[in-house]
Structures are given as structure tokens and as C-alpha cells.
Amino acid sequence: MGYRTLGRTGLKVSEIGFGGYPVDDPDIVRYALDRGINYIDTSHCYRGGRSETTIGEALRGLRDRVVLTTKWCPHHIGRPAKKQVFLDMLDQSLKRLQTDHVDIVLNHEVGKNSDGVGLGRLQNPEMFEAFEAARQTGKARFLGASGHDPDLMGVMHHAVDSGRFDVLLCRYSFLDYPEQNRLIDKAHAKGVGFIAMKTLAGAKGADLDRFRDRHATFKQAALKWVLSNAKVSNLVISISSARQVDEYVPASGQPLRQADADILKEYEEAFSTQVCRYSGACLPECPENVRIADILRFSMYYHEYKQENRALESYARLVASERAAHCVNCSGFCEQACDYDLPIRTLLIRAHEKLAPGAGCPAPGVSGPPDPGRES
């Protein structure tokens, strides 16, 4: 396992980080630690707290071996977001994690669509006061931001420019180039750690096995591509099995070979018109203000990650006017604006059929059985 410095935090983090969303077995966390992973990412909102609880159980007696990150989620903070709610949420996370501190707390899902206010959550004085109180009491050491929204690049540039955030967690894959590289360059120049997620570019799981050669799987090639950027601090990928640990760890410390690039090229040619890049170019064209990019992300959770409950809960949080029911009777204005020729209308109708209330969708905030979880 290779290790890198996480920006100005000075923390030494494993190139492959443990994405804790799906994990249910403490032994898998400990197995990953034994293979050299020392960075663990979870969130207050992951699977109703079961991710944090599992990780807390796994880290009993091992807390000092890892860099531990959790998140403040907008769905649980409430509005207006008050200092005490942030602190209460962090205390609950610490209790589940069986520790007195996390190394990093991320202000999660920042962006206009997730919280309705865009930059507002990164400017909220109550959040900064809460972090400062947590820092002074030793409950959190560093502050960061993470998100998925189409306006993410603008939000993240603001986070870097503000000088108040030590770490970013952003999507970054071989299909996202080059927009993210400008953000990564700036973050690196200012000492802000950059952690990559969504590294598998849609993770079209059903067909992944054919994208491999004798030396690498598609996933290893995709992870190597991310790590080939020396300005990336590390990456997180969802892990729920020892097999995944064994597949992902060898991607660390290996150069990106031509054969790896060929695998990624083949994937791109096959799936380019099925993977949303979250540019947001389509959004102004929709007369109904459908949450296009977010719904495509939820659909990815459902179909590719096999994290059905995560997808259903996320879709259930949308109000009816934001859902894709409109698309059935639309001629697809959004598709004209897509630079990647995605059949957006068809993809959204398929998503709505799976994710709409009445198709087995739990109420917001209600967690079903664990998702098996595969990729991040």
C-alpha cells in the first residue's frame, strides 16, 4: 500500500481508502487494515447509522491506526441549521464509532440540489462555530466538504478559495477529465487535501468482467488512473467484502500502463452514452425542473452499485415536481443539451419506474435491510 499526505492536515493516508457505506461486518474492516488501508470514510446518515456502528465495533483497540472521517448530512441537520444540531450529530457519530474524536468531519452533500441553498451551507456561521467548538474540545481535528451536485465545481472552488476547509471529497474518474483537474490543481496549490470518489465512472457492473486483461481488472485500471494524478491525496471506494479489498489494494503503488489505458478506453467506447458526467448542461432545458443528474446518480446506486435502499431513500426525498414522472409525456428537451448524447428521457423513465413511491420505496429516513453495496 502506498501512502500520501492529505494536504495541510499532514495526515498520512493510504492511497486506497475504505468507503464505509455498505459495510456490515467488522471483520472486513479489520481485514482491510491488515492489508494496509488506514483511511476510513463513513457518515452519520449511512444506512441509518449502521455503517458507523460497524466501523466502531471494528476499531475497538485499533482506533489509533486509522484516519477516521464522518460527515454532517443536510437531511438530518434541519433548517435553519443550528450549531447545537451539528454538535449533537457529531456526538451521536462518536458514540456509534466508539471513539472520542474523528480526524475529519465533512460538510456533506453541499450543492444547490441537495440542500436547496447551494453555497449557503459552506457559509453558515453556525457550522463554523460548531466545528470550532468540536476542534477545541478535541472531537474533530479538520473540516472538509463533500458533494455530488451539478453545481459542485463552483461550490468546491468556493470551499478552496475561502481557506476554511482542509479537505475536499469529490467525484473524479477517467470520464470526468478535465474539469476536475483545474479544481485539483488549485486545491493542491493551497494545501487542501483532495480525496476522490465515484472513481469507477458509472461502474456499469454487469459488464465489467470483460474489461480486463491478464494483469488488471477494469476497477484496478480505473483506480490506477485516479492515483496517477500525484495531486490527488487518495481515493475512497465502497467495500463490503474481503474480495473487494484484495482487488482494490493492488491498484496502489502501480503505474498506469498502456494496457490499463486500453481497458479504460474500451469501457468509455462502450458506455460513454450511458454515464452521466454531472455537468448540469441539461438542467436549464427541462421545463419541469426535473432533478436529472441526481436521479441518474440514484439510478446508478440502484442498478450498478446494487444499493437499492440508498437509491429508494434518496428518490423518496425529492418532492413530486422534481421526479421523472414528467418525462413520460415529454419530447426530451434535455437531450439536446447533453454533450455526451445520453438518452436522458429513457434513462429517467427507467429510473422512475424503479424508484417511485409505490414501487417498494420506504419513507424518507426509514432504512430497510442492508444494501450489499459494491462500488463508490
Query: Measured on CA atoms in the order 256, 258, 261, 266, is the torsion positive or negative?
Result: negative
How many other CB atoms are found less than 10 A from the CB of residue 320?
9
Choose between 13 and 351: whose C-beta lies nearer to ligand SF4: 351
Contact 305, 374 (CB under 8 A): yes
Q: Which is nearer to ligand SF4, 246 or 341 (CB)?
A: 341
Residue ranges that bind ligand SF4, judged by CB under 6 A: 285-286, 288, 290, 292, 324, 326-327, 330, 332-334, 344-345, 348
Give the residue with the Cβ less far from ligand SF4, 67 or 348: 348
To ligand SF4, the closest distance from the beta carbon of 280 in angstroms equals 12
Pick 122 or 324: Cβ nearer ligand SF4: 324
- Rounded distance between C-alpha atoms, residue 358 and residue 355, angstroms: 9
**Nearest-approach distance from CB 285 to ligand SF4, in angstroms:** 6
For residues 195 and 234, the answer to whether their CB atoms sit within 8 Å is yes
Which residues are registered as beta bridge partners of 72? 107
Beta carbon of residue 312, minimum distance to ligand SF4 (angstroms, whole number):
20
Q: Which is nearer to ligand SF4, 144 or 280 (CB)?
A: 280
Q: Which is nearer to ligand SF4, 256 or 282 (CB)?
A: 282
In angstroms, give the least distance from the CB of 75 to ligand SF4.
23
3-class DSSP assignment, residue 282: coil
What is the DSSP secondary-structure string of 64-112? Answer: GG-EEEEEE-HHHH-SS--HHHHHHHHHHHHHHHTSS-EEEEEE-S-BH
Q: Closest distance between ligand SF4 and the C-beta of residue 359, in Å? A: 18
Q: Where are the alpha helices (DSSP H) in 137-271?
A: 152-162, 179-189, 218-227, 242-248, 258-271
Minimum CB distance to ligand SF4, residue 310 (Å): 22
- Asked if residues 294 and 342 have their Cβ atoms less than 8 Å apart, the reply is no
Q: How far is the CB of 287 from ligand SF4 (least distance, A)?
A: 6
Beta carbon of residue 362, minimum distance to ligand SF4 (angstroms, whole number): 25
User: 269 vs 339, which CB is nearer to ligand SF4?
Assistant: 339
Rounded to 10 degrees, what is the CA torsion of 45, 46, 49, 52?
-120
Q: C-alpha distances in angstroms, 339 versus 151, 282, 334?
A: 17, 9, 11
Task: Copy the grid coordinates of residue 240.
Answer: 463490503
Complex with ligand SF4: residue 306 or 323, whichever CB lies closer: 323
Cis amide bond preceding 80, omega within 30: yes
